[in-house]
Amino acid sequence: MQEDFHYYATYCAAYLAGYDHAECMDICYSAQFVDLCSATLLSKIKAPAAAATTQLQLEMMDTRTDVIGLQNITRIWSSFHFLPKDLKASHNRRPKVYMNKYRLICGPNGELVKRTAELAKGKSLQAAGIAMHVIADTWAHAYFAGTPSLVINNTTDDFYEIISGDEGETERKIHFRHSTSTPDDPGNSIYSNSLFQRNENTIMNLGHGRAGHLPDYSFIKYRYMPAWNDYRIIVKDNPSDYWNAFCQLIYAMKYLRYDIGEFSTGTYSYDIAAPYETRIKTILGKRQIKASDDWKAFGEELSGEKIEDFDINRYQDEYMSTSAENRHDTFLGKFTDAAIAHKSMVCHEIYSSGNKLTGFEKIVHSVNDNRNGLFKKKHG
């Protein structure tokens, strides 16, 4: 998903869940910050590199794809953007090497979604924001894995957009071009995607690159054939998925607020969102690359407050000007603590399932481990 959903839509969901404006801002800022908290940024503010929740394109160009490098990539992307749905999935006649990657395929309502929500309960608003980002991405990035893998993440070139009209649904072929500098053209179904790369572990085969940005556009419904699905076609209905994601975020945040006793997957707060369903579905269905303006207007109507635009630098000075002992109480300090804890939980679950693609995460690190200096980076 993009800023329109991670920042503005999450704000709206948080408000509908019962948070006030200031709390909504903290949550949505944290949710969006997950897409920007790279090792480069952490190095700049002298924060622990273990808290990285994403990798920049330039970082990925330089990253190694040996065993250690692949583990580092998988730890970040599987934890925050492609949360595995079923770590115990089975498939006939596939070796362990294949199954390790197959079991990292992302999808909504897996056991790890429940664990994510439970981990964030009773913690900071930043932890809530991270959890909301992760849960939202399970809907958008479903059917792709957060590890470089040709045999999982590759697709054929046959993508078809399914367009609803007065006479029912029609299909239009999607044309891909490999030009990141040219914006996507939804009007003519021309989009960018990553080039086919034969190497199994190349970074180009990470995540949903072969589908371009299609998973991140809320308006599009399309069908395609992924490499892992044994020649079966998948229909990805983003408007429906994003609606479910929004309602699940409300539900999850009500759980975090102790309004709900136990978190259950496959449960959504449709009743709370119902009065705004038409408005929200109109935003989701509108054919536009970014729906930030529409979500922002909706959020400001809901709360009656102004939603500040996202500023990556907002909390950096606070963090850098605070002494090392007190940084955990700053906004970014709480964010890094929560990120480390979440990553540790997910990687531990993956390791416990017998899968070593994220390395040997034998211990689950809590929020306090960073406070106690476990990940302290020594700077000159």
Residues of this chain that interact with another protein (CB under 8 A) are 223, 225, 230-233, 235
Which among 242, 44, 224 has a CA at the least distance from the CA of 137?
Answer: 242
Q: In DSSP terms, which residues pair with 172 in a beta bridge?
A: 161
- Note whether 33 and 320 are within 8 A (CB): no
| Residue with smaller CB distance to another protein, 174 or 341 | 174
Read out DSSP for 303-359? HSS--PPP-TTTTHHHHHHS-GGGGGGSHHHHHHHHHHHHHHHHHHHHHHTT--TT-
For the bound state, the minimum distance from the C-beta of residue 224 to another protein, rounded and expressed in Å, comes to 12
Nearer to another protein, 230 or 311 (CB): 230
Question: What is the C-alpha separation between 354 and 277, in angstroms, rounded?
Answer: 42
Minimum gap (Å) between residue 213 Cβ and another protein: 24
What strands lie across the sheet with 234-237, from one edge to the other?
Answer: 168-173, 160-165, 221-224, 234-237
Supply the minimum distance, in Å, between the C-beta of residue 155 and another protein.
Answer: 13
Taking the complex as a whole, the smallest distance from the CB of residue 316 to another protein amounts, in Å, to 49
User: CA torsion sign, 298 to 303 to 305 to 307?
Assistant: negative
**DSSP H helical ranges for the chain:** 3, 10-17, 21-33, 39-44, 57-62, 67-80, 96-102, 111-120, 125-140, 150-153, 238-256, 270-273, 277-285, 292-303, 316-321, 331-352, 367-371
Q: What are phi and psi of 113, to 5 degrees?
A: -65, -45
235 vs 312, which CB is nearer to another protein? Answer: 235
As measured in angstroms, the least distance from the Cβ of 171 to another protein is 11
Selection from 357, 305, 285, 377 nearest residue 105 by Cα: 357
Burial call 40-50: b when 16+ CB within 10 Å, e when fewer: ebbeebebbeb
* Size of the chain in residues: 380
Residue with token string 């679950």 = 349
Distance CA 133, CA 125 (A): 12
Eight-state DSSP code of residue 216: G
CB nearer to another protein: pick between 58 and 235: 235
Q: What DSSP state is assigned to residue 4? A: I
Contacts with 188 (C-beta within 8 Å, 6 or more apart), sequence order: 175
Q: Least distance (Å) from another protein to the CB of residue 232?
A: 5
Residues with Cβ within 8 Å of 308's Cβ and at least 6 positions away in sequence, in order, are 25
Q: How far is the CB of 99 from another protein (least distance, A)?
A: 21
Residue placing its CB nearer to another protein in the complex, 107 or 333: 107
Report the DSSP beta bridge partners of residue 173.
160
Q: Which is nearer to another protein, 22 or 235 (CB)?
A: 235
Min. distance of Cβ 234 from another protein in angstroms?
Answer: 9
